[in-house]
Amino acid sequence: MLAVLRRELRAYFLSPTGYIFMGFFLLLSGFFFTYSNLFQANPSYLGVLGSITFIFLIVVPILTMRLMSEESRQKTDQLLLTSPLSVTGIVLGKYFAAVGVFLITLLITCLYPIILSFFGTIAVWEIIGGYIGFFLLGSAFISIGLFVSSLTDNQVIAAVVTFSALLFIWIMDWVLSGLPTDRVSGIVFACMLVAGVAALVYFSIRNIYVCAAVALVGLGIVAALYFTNEFFFDGLIVRSLEWFSLLKRYDNFSMGILSLSPIVYYISFSSIFVFLTVRMIEKRRWS
């Protein structure tokens, strides 16, 4: 894992990618810092962190687009996958390299609050808390980018799809408010989920009987839930999609509150996408 991580970090700084990411990030964050803290003589740095989260939308695709896709394009994945490394080790090495570049960039932005501290006292612990949240939020986005780059061997496609996925997460809260919350739509949604899973099963193993069995079991669970706890379906759509609402959980950090549950949430979110990436690569071998 360390060897992959080292190589990946080197690659970031031997190609323009690492510098573009850092440059873009520092430029935008510097602009917001200058504008809202320096010009307005405002000592609240957390506000800056909160308002620059949109940068992820642009810089995360740059950072993650070539992670896995370039390996399959250059066929170097043959080297990695036939070496004694585990797939998990390879994927984690890549993930931590991207997160590492992000972390280095973030450490540079620590200069801003240090500049602020010359002008007066700053809320040190709150800012550290805010940074932790910001870092975890970014890492979760990076995990999405990592996963997307394992789906294609084309960097541009990886970047565009990552951007769209992040954009979707951005507008989610807004979309959520417009979604139906009644029981019937919840049941319909649950049935669609079952159909989706069954279709996925069919396309991965191409066995209609297994697929039908999965669909039946899924529908059975839906029916059982309906007869035991029909309230389960009230607002199911919103509750399911809220799981993806990464930004909402950042609100706490933005207010300077450091609590455990969003930290756990971000870490599990990233772990799930790292895991999905591993599964994706394993699955390719079987296809």
Partner 1 sequence: MVQVINLTKRYGQHIAVDNVSFTVDKGEILGFLGPNGAGKTTTMNIITGYLSATEGSVKVDGFDILEEPEEVKKRIGYMPEFPPLYMDMTVQEYLNFVSDIKKIDRKTRARNLDRIMDMIKIGDVRKRLIKNLSKGYKQRVGLAQALIGAPQVLILDEPTVGLDPKQIIEIRNLIKELGKEHTIILSSHILPEVSAVCERVLIINKGKIVASDTPENLSRRLGDTGRLSIRVAGPEKQVLKLIGGLAGVKSVESTGAREPGTVDILVEAEKDIDVRRPVFYALSRAEYPILHMKPIDLTLEEIFLQVTTQEREVS
**Contact residues for partner 1, defined by CB under 8 A:** 2-4, 6-7, 11, 14-15, 74-86, 206, 285-287
Nearest to 59 by CA among 111, 128, 92, 12: 12
Minimum CB distance to partner 1 smaller for 86 or for 240:
86
Minimum CB distance to partner 1 smaller for 6 or for 248:
6
Nearest to 162 by CA among 146, 180, 176, 183: 146
H helices of 65-182, in order, are 69-74, 77-81, 87-109, 111-119, 124-149, 155-178
Q: Closest distance between partner 1 and the C-beta of residue 92, in Å? A: 13
Q: Closest distance between partner 1 and the C-beta of residue 1, in Å? A: 9
Other Cβ atoms closer than 10 A to 233: 22
Sign of the dihedral defined by the CA atoms of residues 22, 25, 26, 27, in that order: positive
Minimum CB distance to partner 1 smaller for 7 or for 183:
7
46 within 8 A of 254, measured Cβ to Cβ? yes
Q: What is the largest CA-CA distance in the chain?
A: 70
Give residues with Cβ within 8 angstroms of 277, minimum separation 6.
68, 91, 95, 143, 146, 147, 150
Q: Which residue has the tokens 């979309």?
A: 175
Minimum CB distance to partner 1 smaller for 4 or for 161:
4
Q: Which residue has the tokens 């932790």?
A: 132
Q: Closest distance between partner 1 and the C-beta of residue 217, in Å? A: 26
Q: Closest distance between partner 1 and the C-beta of residue 206, in Å? A: 8
Minimum CB distance to partner 1 smaller for 42 or for 76:
76
Q: Closest distance between partner 1 and the C-beta of residue 225, in Å? A: 36
Q: Closest distance between partner 1 and the C-beta of residue 282, in Å? A: 9
- Phi–psi pair at 179, nearest 5 degrees: -80, 150
Helix H or strand E encompassing 32? helix 16-32
Minimum CB distance to partner 1 smaller for 234 or for 282:
282
Minimum CB distance to partner 1 smaller for 5 or for 169:
5
**Which DSSP category does 153 fall into?**
S
